[in-house]
Structure 1
């Protein structure tokens, strides 16, 4: 638990310190926000801006001036997140001015890698900032509207537009032409600082797939949350939700990686014109961890998680939490329309089958199934598959455990493949055969055995042995 921290908040391109007011109000007095205007923006608009390192120096001076006696966090939205990552590396490398950093909150963050932005749009944004006042206001309005999943309250929209208009044009262009494109991957490396990463499901450039591909691999201890229906300006769009997520993060910082990453090539494919908008939206929603309701008891969930680790191992960090997803599915009563007629409804079947398996473990080894070694778990699962587990009161009959275990295996694979990380792991490129123009679908041009199109190569190479 991180008690009474100070949160230093770094805004988005074109924003200012005042965009953090809604979040600060909801976090309350015991989690104080210190919002900082970055060089070239807000009350610092006289500055021409500068590279990431210079902006990091600016923030470090503010942190040192505040000198919080206890722990403190860096909270960054978009541009601010890249600066926060640079400061976290300095803190972990022993910079005395940055001692006490206890966590990162990265909202639709600009990653250590160059931002995945279309060059045409970058140049258009650079061009209009020097236009006449009428054009600048029109483009500023469009910029704010394009970066939210739904319209902001009128007063928030108006303040954000005014912040964009008072930004120093030199600082605006410096970020777009240089800062956003700086490559900090080698310098950032892998950070051990606990991090909460939040992405908006409707964010075009820096949405869930970009975070999973470009930011999460640099965070050894992270929690990634996808906000359905939200865009890029999360502090203004979802202050209530963000406050709750930050409270939970401070109460229970992640000790290990909790969400899967995506290879950059697959993330780029997801964001490309080869994938139609409806499919992209669905895939992004599937990256969101279900937040309930759930129906399994804690012991049953632990048994299920242990079963799934044996049925479908996921080596390495950032595993898909299959047990959580299946538990949420059971609670809704939805499914694929299929079950063995001899089994009870899914939620009941899972609960009783998991209790049967756990009882067999306790009878044979004197410990819960989740505490057994892998070979002992495998032996019990082999017995379940063969219908040889002992009967237990209110459990599943031994001969029906065969049916349930077949259902479990199928659901494990189905749930894993529903997640973009599962598709990426097997090098699946089929999502790239569509697009929004029904009259000009890209499809495949090469259909021969083992023929690969140029755009498939990086995705298949990243999948490697997983195929």
Structure 2
């Protein structure tokens, strides 16, 4: 509130070459101070439309202060598939307002509302706002930038946030957003500081990394740009740049009007980077490690890999599967634990010998002695291979790799294929699908 895209200019310079930072003016602020509608709903729509024009490849969504609530609402739409977007890989939030009503001292709220009772903020009130929201004096250039933004802020937008936007409870709409999130907060921020953020956001962002910035108030991009940039760079390297990226033409297809919102949401959630610190639910850590080594043999992956073993553990925890199991085997969670414990007894530490051991178990000739005998171990490994391949195929980057675009047959009105035959590629299909056959050539 009271800022603009310009507040991120120092971060943009510091992260150049690591992260491409692009600030977005919100209705009523910065270059959009004259916008007629600065409600929370209009602001979310504005950001979605901006991203639809500019967000490509793998991207993150950032939000500072009131932008935190806006970012949460936008991210929830992306992960549900309700926005024409794909590629969201994480979020960076700075002293964010939570999806639920923002904690704010009512006396301070009324005082801030009084500043725009007769029009725009005065220089004196703008100086007071800066002083109340910083731990130490800003550098001259940052101070002037903050003053400029506050002076041109729309009084209507200022009131809209204090009277309505900050009080909106969007918890039900946002729900739980399971993706990498960095939350930066100052130790000297009164309401949205480092001490308050875990309680406000932990249930919304289960994968959140909370970073406290000492001697910092609420205006983090202006107060602690260097420290924020360092935390962002570390976060991106550790948690965002994991797994494969969906090619641009496939991303455009997923975001387009041929894909139903529900299907787009499923694909967007599948494309979220895996949790590097994933804690297994059904398996223990040793069992998950062994399943990862089996996965490397069953589904070798070139380049950034999908953690398909962790995804199988999540599948088991949710009680999901392909709808059947062999009658000779116990329920899937028990079968996985028993099968992995059996295989662990003969599993070699030498990676070069593992393929032979796995092949023997698949063929039913293993001499492993454990919870499953050789015959049932062989049956279980059929399910394992099926689950691992299914989890790999489910990722939209894998679909692009094999040229599968059958998910793009929805929309309103529903659309499908005009003609299905070998070598026939329709105009809407990405170039990587099928091939081109000249007229008169044999298919």
Normalised TM-score (structure 1): 0.51
SS for the counterpart of 1:258 is: coil
Residues 322 and 412 in structure 1, CA contact (< 8 A), matched pair in contact too: yes
The offset of 1:329, in angstroms, is 1.7
Counterpart-to-counterpart distance in 2, 1:455 and 1:209: 18
- 2:425 is the counterpart of 1:452: yes
Cα displacement (A) at 1:286: 2.6
Q: 2:242 maps to which residue?
A: 258
Alignment of 1:262-301 (within 5 A): 262-288=246-272, 289=274, 294-301=281-288
Q: In the alignment, which residue of structure 2 is the partner of 1:315?
A: 302
Matches within 5 A, 1:52-201: 56=9, 59=10, 83=12, 87-89=14-16, 136-138=35-37, 141-146=40-45, 200-201=75-76
Greater relative CO, 1 or 2 (CA 8 Å, sep 6+): 2
Structure 1: gaps spanning 5 or more residues: 1-14, 18-36, 42-54, 60-73, 75-82, 93-103, 116-124, 150-174, 186-196, 214-226, 362-368, 463-467
What SS does the aligned partner of 1:407 have? helix
In 2: Cα distance, 1:184 partner to 1:388 partner: 47
Q: Distance in 1 between matches of 2:76 and 2:280?
A: 21
Q: CA 1:427 to 1:271, structure 2 compared with 1: closer, same or farther past 3 Å?
A: same
Shift of 1:413: 1.3
| Aligned twin of 1:247 | 210
- 1:388 correspondence with 2:365: yes
User: Are the counterparts in 1 of residues 255 and 264 from structure 2 also a CA contact under 8 Å?
Assistant: yes
Is 1:350 paired with 2:350?
no
Q: Which has the higher helix share?
A: 1
Take 1:430 and 1:420, find their aligned partners in 2: how far apart are those partners?
Answer: 11
Instruction: Tell me, yes or no, if structure 1 residue 372 matches structure 2 residue 247.
Output: no
Q: Determine the structure 2 residue equivalent to 1:209.
A: 86
CA drift of 1:337 comes to 2.1
How far residue 88 of structure 1 moved from its aligned partner, in angstroms, is: 2.0
CA distance 1:270–1:242, shift in 2 (3 Å):
same
In the alignment of these two chains, the number of paired residues is 291
1:306/1:400 CA distance change after superposition, 3 Å:
same
- Residue 243 of structure 1: CA displacement? 9.4
Q: Tell me, which stretches of 5 or more residues in structure 2 are unaligned?
A: 59-70, 91-173, 184-191, 213-230, 436-443
TM norm structure 2: 0.54
Of 360, 383, 386, the residue aligned with 1:410 is 386
Radius of gyration: which is bigger? 2
Name the residue aligned to 1:420.
Answer: 396
- Corresponding position of 1:331: 317
